[in-house]
């Protein structure tokens, strides 16, 4: 441990963001970096507390105290070696992880936690800068072939480990490029896509084969022609051609809001809106499902859903030049500080004000959407009511407050209410897989599905979750597959 008294001398300092008036005009990453000396001082705050709860809370089991010490000493290569031993993609988690670890940092029990996520990002970017991250192909191939379906963080993580263990790995991805929601969900202002490209290039150099624009499934299940140039790969033929298949196809069916007026135009799923913006920035043409371009420019935008995807919509709508942006959420305002119901070291649900919220817009809590109204088939307003939440028979129950109805004028509604289960485009049915009560792929024991040749990992078996959990699941699935052979 570098400086045993570091936490007594140095206050927590986060990197901060570019000024609002600057960043609102572009889609470049909003978070800035601290100079190396300040970053090293931040790492010195780690107390090496003996029982590192941060390690327990991190899904990939990062060994934070050890690499904080290396950062403090300025040994960036050493810090990177320890970091990448547990986390194959710190450049993704360092940018978008909610930092489950920081909520469990022992220092955070009566002070402010170590800036673990930002320290992680500093380590990986410094490692790339110093040239210590380089390709490491397997020494020998073991003659076994694996097909991974879906190139989101779970599929990429599994491919990374299976390839290093000597398997010949081909990743089939229905979209134009690899990345899953990292590329086509999370906005560029949180994660610049060049960092995904950099990682994919490294994995290709190590021998992973990517077949993008290749959807494993059947045209029978697809809604109309795909129209984006992607080809269908027959799941059964694929299964016959390899030793094992791993499905990492995500939980991509969006939750809907079946209230009167839902059929009006101008009511759009958040992902269609966000994905279109990312594709536009990437210069992808003709790759969007809906022919009509969705833009917030000059519109009164209402985002339904108070979570992270909703916040991403707020940031994107503001950048596109929305007239007004209002985000509504049916749940009540979360507390500002850790509630008694989730004491340290548990993860608390607290009010989160993201960089997007700081850029403008209004947030309304405990508001239920009752119907949409419009003219000539186009949405014009949302009828809402305020609700009260209380415990009834041990469960949080919602009651509408009488006389609280009100109307919000709008010409673009973005539905950001989360995702439910895997999309049924043939792969699950064709491979005779069982699904669970939510519609996700059922796995037995570890990652094995009802088909002996097929395994599953990430959101497609767990339901919609986090990048770091998908990475952890992909790694664990790869380890289980390696053991099975
Ligand atoms: C807008 C948005 C913002 C988010 N922000 C964050 C955040 O800030 N932090 C965080 O931790 N998490 C965030 N998440 C959640 C996170 O991105 C997901 O939990 C994570 O990406 C899941 O990884 P996955 O690999 O299981 O699935 P996905 O990322 O969904 O990847 C699945 C891949 O499979 C492909 N695929 C599906 N079916 C087929 C098929 N039949 N054939 C071929 N390919 C197929 C898809 O095209 C996709 O590329 C966000 C999600 C969204 C939508
Ligand atoms: S991956 Fe997330 S939880 Fe794990 S150390 Fe990094 S920021 Fe913390």
Task: Give me the residue spans of the domains in the chain.
Answer: 6-130, 145-253+420-484, 267-415
Topology of the domain covering 145-253+420-484: FAD/NAD(P)-binding domain (3.50.50)
Query: In the prediction, which pLDDT does 444 show?
Result: 86
Task: Report which ligand 2 atom has the smallest distance to the Cα of 97.
Answer: 2
Query: What average pLDDT score do residues 212-221 get?
Result: 84
Query: In the prediction, which pLDDT does 289 show?
Result: 52
Digit-coded pLDDT (tens) for 421-439: 888 778 998 999 999 998 8
Higher pLDDT, 427 or 194: 194
Task: Report which ligand 2 atom has the smallest distance to the Cα of 64.
Answer: 5
Topology of the domain covering 267-415: FAD/NAD(P)-binding domain (3.50.50)
- Whether the pLDDT of residue 331 is over 90: the answer is yes
* Token pair 């990292």: residue: 182
- Whether the pLDDT of residue 291 is over 50: the answer is no
Structure tokens at 393: 């028979």
* 6-130 and 145-253+420-484 share one fold: no
Q: Establish whether the linkage from the previous residue to 247 is cis, with ω within 30° of 0.
A: no
Determine the Cα–Cα distance for residues 430 and 448; give it in Å rounded to an integer.
16
Name 265's bridge partners.
Answer: 378
Nearest protein CA to atom 3 of ligand 2, as residue: 58
Digit-coded pLDDT (tens) for 451-483: 999 999 999 999 999 999 999 999 999 999 999
Task: Report which ligand 1 atom has the smallest distance to the Cα of 153.
Answer: 25
Cβ contacts of 483 within 8 Å, gap of 6 or more? none
Q: Are residues 383 and 264 in contact, defined by beta-carbon separation less than 8 angstroms?
A: no
Determine the Cα–Cα distance for residues 473 and 153; give it in Å rounded to an integer.
9
Pocket test for ligand 2, best of 54, 108, 120 (most atoms within 8 A of CB): 120
Domain covering 6-130: architecture = Orthogonal Bundle (1.10)
Lowest mean pLDDT: which of 50-64, 187-201, 347-361, 424-438? Answer: 424-438
Tell me how far the alpha carbon of residue 358 lies from the centroid of ligand 2, in angstroms.
24
Query: In the prediction, which pLDDT does 2 show?
Result: 67
% the chain with pLDDT above 70 = 96
Digit-coded pLDDT (tens) for 338-354: 999 899 999 999 999 99
Sign of the four-CA dihedral 456, 461, 462, 468: positive
Pocket test for ligand 1, best of 181, 211, 212, 229 (most atoms within 8 A of CB): 181
Task: Report which ligand 1 atom has the smallest distance to the Cα of 465.
Answer: 19
Task: Give residue 3's pLDDT band: very low, low, confident or very high (50, 70, 90).
Answer: confident
Query: What average pLDDT score do residues 145-156 get?
Result: 98
Query: In the prediction, which pLDDT does 224 show?
Result: 39
Cβ(470) – ligand 1 distance below 6 Å: yes
Cβ(425) – ligand 1 distance below 6 Å: yes
Cβ(315) – ligand 1 distance below 6 Å: no
Task: Report which ligand 2 atom has the smallest distance to the Cα of 120.
Answer: 6
Q: Are residues 400 and 368 in contact, defined by beta-carbon separation less than 8 angstroms?
A: yes
Structure tokens at 320: 């596109």
Digit-coded pLDDT (tens) for 75-85: 999 999 999 99
The residue count for the chain? 485
Please tell me the number of the ligand nearest to residue 158's CA: 1
Digit-coded pLDDT (tens) for 368-408: 999 999 999 999 999 999 999 998 888 889 999 999 999 99
Please tell me the number of the ligand nearest to residue 67's CA: 2
Task: List all residues whose CB is within 6 A of at least one atom of ligand 2.
Answer: 58, 60, 62, 64, 87, 93, 97, 99-101, 116-117, 120, 468
Cβ contacts of 379 within 8 Å, gap of 6 or more? 261, 264, 265, 266, 267, 372, 373, 410, 411, 412, 413
Nearest protein CA to atom 4 of ligand 2, as residue: 58
Task: Give residue 227's pLDDT band: very low, low, confident or very high (50, 70, 90).
Answer: low
Task: Report which ligand 1 atom has the smallest distance to the Cα of 190.
Answer: 8
Q: What is the mean pLDDT of the chain?
A: 94
Q: Which of 262, 147, 166 is nearest to 207 (CA)?
A: 166
- Whether the pLDDT of residue 22 is over 70: the answer is yes
Task: Give residue 63's pLDDT band: very low, low, confident or very high (50, 70, 90).
Answer: very high
Tell me how far the alpha carbon of residue 60 lies from the centroid of ligand 1, in angstroms.
17
Task: Report which ligand 2 atom has the smallest distance to the Cα of 100.
Answer: 3
Nearest protein CA to atom 1 of ligand 2, as residue: 93
Phi and psi at residue 470, to the nearest 5° = -65, -40
Lowest mean pLDDT: which of 174-188, 260-274, 441-455? Answer: 441-455
Tell me how far the alpha carbon of residue 417 lies from the centroid of ligand 1, in angstroms.
15
pTM: 0.96
Tell me how far the alpha carbon of residue 267 lies from the centroid of ligand 1, in angstroms.
22
Cβ(312) – ligand 1 distance below 6 Å: yes
Task: Report which ligand 2 atom has the smallest distance to the Cα of 87.
Answer: 1
Task: Give residue 300's pLDDT band: very low, low, confident or very high (50, 70, 90).
Answer: very high
């Amino acid at each position: 441990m570098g400086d045993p008294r570091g936490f007594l001398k140095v206050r927590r300092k986060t990197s901060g963001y570019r000024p609002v008036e600057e960043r609102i005009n572009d889609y470049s990453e909003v978070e800035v970096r601290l100079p190396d000396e300040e970053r090293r001082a931040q790492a010195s705050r780690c107390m090496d507390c003996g029982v590192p709860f941060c390690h327990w809370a991190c899904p990939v089991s990062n060994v934070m105290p050890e690499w904080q010490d290396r950062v403090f000493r300025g040994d960036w290569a050493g810090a990177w070696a320890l970091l990448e031993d547990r986390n194959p993609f710190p450049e993704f988690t360092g940018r978008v992880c909610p930092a489950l670890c920081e909520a469990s940092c022992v220092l955070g029990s009566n002070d402010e936690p170590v800036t673990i996520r930002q320290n992680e990002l500093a380590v990986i970017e410094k490692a790339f800068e110093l040239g210590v991250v380089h390709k490491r192909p397997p020494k020998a191939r073991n003659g076994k072939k694996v097909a991974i379906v879906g190139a989101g963080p779970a599929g990429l993580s599994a491919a990374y480990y299976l390839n290093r263990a000597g398997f010949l790995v081909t990743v089939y991805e229905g979209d134009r490029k690899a990345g899953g929601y990292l590329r086509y969900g999370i906005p560029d202002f949180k994660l610049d896509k060049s960092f995904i490209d950099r990682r994919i290039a490294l994995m290709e150099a190590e021998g992973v084969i990517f077949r993008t624009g290749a959807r494993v499934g059947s045209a029978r299940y697809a809604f109309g022609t795909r129209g984006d140039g992607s080809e269908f790969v027959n799941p059964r033929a694929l299964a016959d051609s390899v030793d094992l298949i791993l499905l990492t196809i995500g939980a991509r069916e969006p939750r809907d809001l079946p209230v009167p007026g839902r059929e009006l135009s101008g009511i759009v799923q958040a992902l269609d809106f966000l994905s279109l913006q990312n594709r536009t920035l990437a210069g992808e043409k003709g790759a969007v499902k809906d022919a009509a371009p969705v833009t917030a420019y000059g519109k009164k935008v209402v985002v339904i859903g108070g979570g992270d995807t909703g916040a991403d919509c707020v940031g994107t709508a503001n950048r596109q030049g929305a007239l007004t942006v209002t985000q509504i959420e049916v749940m009540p305002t979360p507390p500002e500080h850790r509630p008694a119901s989730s004491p340290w070291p548990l993860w608390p649900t607290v009010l989160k004000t993201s960089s997007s919220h700081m850029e403008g817009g209004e947030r309304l809590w405990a508001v239920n959407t009752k119907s949409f109204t419009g003219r000539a088939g186009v949405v014009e307003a949302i009828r809402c009511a305020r609700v009260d939440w209380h415990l009834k028979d041990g469960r949080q129950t919602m009651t509408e407050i009488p006389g609280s109805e009100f109307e919000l004028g709008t010409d673009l509604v973005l539905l950001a209410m989360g995702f439910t289960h895997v999309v049924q485009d043939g792969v699950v049915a064709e491979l005779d897989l069982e699904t669970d009560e939510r519609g996700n792929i059922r796995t037995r024991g570890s990652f094995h599905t009802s088909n002996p040749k097929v395994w599953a990992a990430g959101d497609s078996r767990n339901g919609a979750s986090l990048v770091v959990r998908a990475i952890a699941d992909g790694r664990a699935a790869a380890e289980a597959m390696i053991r099975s052979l």
